[in-house]
Structure 1
């Protein structure tokens, strides 16, 4: 008896659940956004996704959902007109940003809309199911079993059962007829969308949307074809250049380290004086104007001899591919990937400024570069002043290791670095989160702690380190302030201790990866890092001695130049560097700069030696005059 009762109750629960689910799914609706527009979406049984753009026409694509589920999208006007806001220009720029955000990553908008529909369908299903179960329970309690017996007796009468079946079929026929009835097709297929492929390849368009695609779509396609052809040929030329090169992976013979000639003095490399109100350009970094530091003690001579000899381990080389300042040149992704494969890179080092302004829309820039790179080669990035926390999150999402002030180990290398302490962006403005001195101290502390040393205080290395202020200091305390604190002797002792430790040999963090070389110059004074790799200036500097180590600055890998945005075929030559590094002895062995020309030619530079690490602090001159035509 109880078995039949249980089966009966479960059947009732199941049947009411199916009815509730069907009603919930086929009546779901939600309001979401399509760029700056409000859009009302609702499910139906047409098995078509139809986007109604009002006077602009419509767009239809086959529904990927199970038959017969379809979706109707009614796009409304932009909620606020220009006359309803205080600042029309600001409102319009916000609309443009909303359009850009949607079309840069439409999948996110579609996923949000689908989630809203699912949530509404779930709410409707639960509500209808609950009401049906309550109605059944009330009926059972009220009838006390009599209703069930009455129904059985009625169904035994002649003609009642067929009538009940006919009624049920009639109820089901209404939605089924709507699903089975062939709807007249509106609009026509678009050759432009078909060639682009993707989810809109089978779309049918009508109205002004169709006219716009006919008028401008072909032009856009032609530009896309040219762009794809340019970078595909560039990648092909990378393969050809490596195939013809006599020393594709490393110099045939080990290169002797360069011992710089002693100099009476060197011009220090001061920081840039940047105007917070200046127009922002992704290439303005290359034109920073240094300020002179008048301190006579700020330019020690480079060491004329290498560090004291020590027992060397058998070399254990690792290949690094260095890119920097790509500034959202998405076409370079496959080229970087081909360079990584041909050079057999073990690690890709990105010195920052992967985007133009660090906005969320620019996730497509990171995605496209990441797609072009080999999946098995780790990428380490130190974000630049044109990147942001949004950029860091996007890079982490694609699997890159984003440096955040600590020391990490990748492929047997120890790497330290951090995001830039500033933000320079058209969309997000100019901000400074920390001074260069403060930013350098964070990285210095991490590097020195990793090798068991005590980092010198910022003041200890300030005289030998470039600064943003004319006095060569980050703050107004100066020498008098330090003397008043009574810490000047301790600071000098810390600096001397760092020099002694650096001379001991190989107890250093292998690589400092920082976008800003002026911040890096402070870190290199500590002697806790052997090699600094930076970008920011859009021109090559080095390799040359810096602090108690060696510095190398990469030129733009995206062909960024002043006054232009690196979108489309290269408008200026791009540069990528391959570095061979001995991780057993913690020294760089050789580098070669690869030029990717506007004429699609690829030039593999000669292998070059690195200078030895100095035994006395050196302040490198990073000026254009010191490194012309680089």
Structure 2
């Protein structure tokens, strides 16, 4: 029994000796291309305990404690951006940094994936090594094994020297393989708190942890960094105060047997409003989020930070979504699905006990078009979408909510009476609620919610609201809508819930 245990321990030791260096080497030599904020970026793991951001030659490198297990750190090299003006890039980065949790979660997920891949490779090499060792030991036969064991008990001097040399060679080879082979700029640099370079900074729990390379700042780069810090602080202060104000907002809470959902739409990259919207959702005791699209300005890959933020802020919610005309291409819809959103595709689906149908906007407006919701713009595509949703809703017979980006996508569906409620956005202003009796004798209520990002046009990312923003609380009973309450967010920081509008769904 003791000999068996010893053999098992020897095999485990062999696996660890081979597998751990393999996993370590794989991990420290790996990198991933991801999108962070407005940039393409390369993420590489380190073991110095810091997350280091390299912005390029014009802006000094900064770092913050990574607070990860095993002293894991990161090198994050920010690359190209679709924005060509440096001042605009820095300003966007600063606003995104004021609500960083979505991007932090994305980077953390990437590092976990890299570590998992490295661990699996190490495990695979360990298992293969142990199997080869066992098969080789058995293949040499009993007499030869006994001779080897006997020699090991009483080794000659030459055997000891040979074994020691072999160990040295193996250890050296493992060290060479495991050691990082790329330069690590900034490792030997002198890092100082950012407050020593910018002494006028007020106390800030985030900025207090930031360090910058000493002596790396020219007058021009200092101006850029100072501008970014000012934008960051303005954003943190404005949306922080608004979130505190929202904590005191008086909204209707669900009664017995009721549930609530929060509607957001036309965020247009304004992630600063996400924590504020979350507070209203908490006040209304909601656990369902309905996202009606135009989360971005152009649907570009770099704008996935907007979906990262929404997913992070509402991570414990069921989320139903469609994409809007400004969410051009597949990147945003794919990101929604990757984050676990239920992206409506024209088929009825039940989420959170509510029967939904809807689909994404068929138009691609780019950055500057599509604001006014004119039904003549791509009228054929909108009409086809409306026709398909009407047919599917009427065939299903049990649809509670039709969710679309533009009200033009569900005019016929609303008139059919085949759903209790039609929710839309796109206009950046509230229209409704309006209730009408449909062709089948059942009533349908329509509501267009204003821009949750406070967007005037197709871009709302900034350090504060440009115009009134809005979200809507929807109350359900037995999966059917029984009330609506829009909530307005003013540029001055006020949070103003509107009156609650009760709804009475028609019998089915």
Q: 1:140/1:580 Cα in 2 relative to 1: closer, same or farther (>3 Å)?
A: closer
Match of 2:268 in 1: 327
Q: 1:604/1:204 Cα in 2 relative to 1: closer, same or farther (>3 Å)?
A: closer
Match of 1:221 in 2: 229
- CA distance in 2: counterparts of 1:210 and 1:116, whole angstroms: 41
C-alpha displacement of 1:327: 1.5
1:230-245 alignment runs, 5 A limit: 230-242=238-250
Q: Which runs of 5 or more residues in structure 1 are unaligned? A: 79-88, 243-247, 251-314, 452-507, 614-630
Secondary structure of 2:394's counterpart equals helix
**Are positions 1:16 and 2:11 aligned together?**
no
Pick which of 331-340 and 136-145 moved more: 136-145
Match of 1:81 in 2: none
- Larger CA Rg, structure 1 vs 2: 1
Q: 1:218/1:175 Cα in 2 relative to 1: closer, same or farther (>3 Å)?
A: farther
1:208-607 alignment runs, 5 A limit: 208=216, 216-242=224-250, 248-249=251-252, 319-345=260-286, 347-373=288-314, 375=316, 378-387=318-327, 389-410=330-351, 413-426=354-367, 435-451=381-397, 509-544=399-434, 548=438, 549-562=444-457, 564-579=459-474, 591-607=484-500
Q: 1:50/1:143 Cα in 2 relative to 1: closer, same or farther (>3 Å)?
A: farther
C-alpha displacement of 1:545: 5.2
- CA distance in 1: counterparts of 2:313 and 2:119, whole angstroms: 34
Count of residue pairs brought into register by the alignment? 458
Q: 1:197/1:54 Cα in 2 relative to 1: closer, same or farther (>3 Å)?
A: closer
Q: Does the Cα contact within 8 Å between 2:356 and 2:401 map onto a contact in 1?
A: yes
Q: Which runs of 5 or more residues in structure 2 are unaligned? A: 179-185, 196-202, 371-376, 439-443
Root mean square deviation, CA, Å: 5.6
Q: Does the Cα contact within 8 Å between 2:431 and 2:448 map onto a contact in 1?
A: yes
C-alpha displacement of 1:597: 0.9
Q: Does the Cα contact within 8 Å between 1:186 and 1:206 map onto a contact in 2?
A: no
Secondary structure of 1:599's counterpart equals coil
C-alpha displacement of 1:560: 0.4
Q: 1:435/1:563 Cα in 2 relative to 1: closer, same or farther (>3 Å)?
A: closer
Q: 1:579/1:73 Cα in 2 relative to 1: closer, same or farther (>3 Å)?
A: closer
Secondary structure of 1:532's counterpart equals strand
C-alpha displacement of 1:226: 1.7
C-alpha displacement of 1:233: 1.5
Q: 1:167/1:569 Cα in 2 relative to 1: closer, same or farther (>3 Å)?
A: same
C-alpha displacement of 1:330: 0.8
Secondary structure of 1:222's counterpart equals helix
Once the two structures are superposed, what CA deviation does each residue of 1:306-361 show, in whole Å capped at 9, x if it has no partner? Answer: xxxxxxxxx97655543221122111112112222334446543322223333444
Q: 1:62/1:207 Cα in 2 relative to 1: closer, same or farther (>3 Å)?
A: farther
C-alpha displacement of 1:599: 0.9
C-alpha displacement of 1:71: 8.6
- CA distance in 1: counterparts of 2:53 and 2:498, whole angstroms: 56
- Output the TM-score relative to the length of structure 1: 0.56
- CA distance in 1: counterparts of 2:379 and 2:142, whole angstroms: 69
- CA distance in 1: counterparts of 2:149 and 2:389, whole angstroms: 79
Secondary structure of 1:349's counterpart equals strand
Secondary structure of 2:277's counterpart equals helix
Q: Does the Cα contact within 8 Å between 1:383 and 1:419 map onto a contact in 2?
A: yes
- CA distance in 1: counterparts of 2:211 and 2:67, whole angstroms: 10
- Output the TM-score relative to the length of structure 2: 0.67
C-alpha displacement of 1:570: 0.3
Once the two structures are superposed, what CA deviation does each residue of 1:505-554 show, in whole Å capped at 9, x if it has no partner? Answer: xxx63322211211200212323123322111112222335672332212
C-alpha displacement of 1:227: 1.0
C-alpha displacement of 1:368: 2.3
Q: 1:34/1:411 Cα in 2 relative to 1: closer, same or farther (>3 Å)?
A: closer
C-alpha displacement of 1:419: 2.0
- CA distance in 1: counterparts of 2:464 and 2:382, whole angstroms: 35
C-alpha displacement of 1:598: 0.7
- CA distance in 2: counterparts of 1:41 and 1:121, whole angstroms: 18
Match of 2:198 in 1: none
Q: 1:63/1:153 Cα in 2 relative to 1: closer, same or farther (>3 Å)?
A: farther
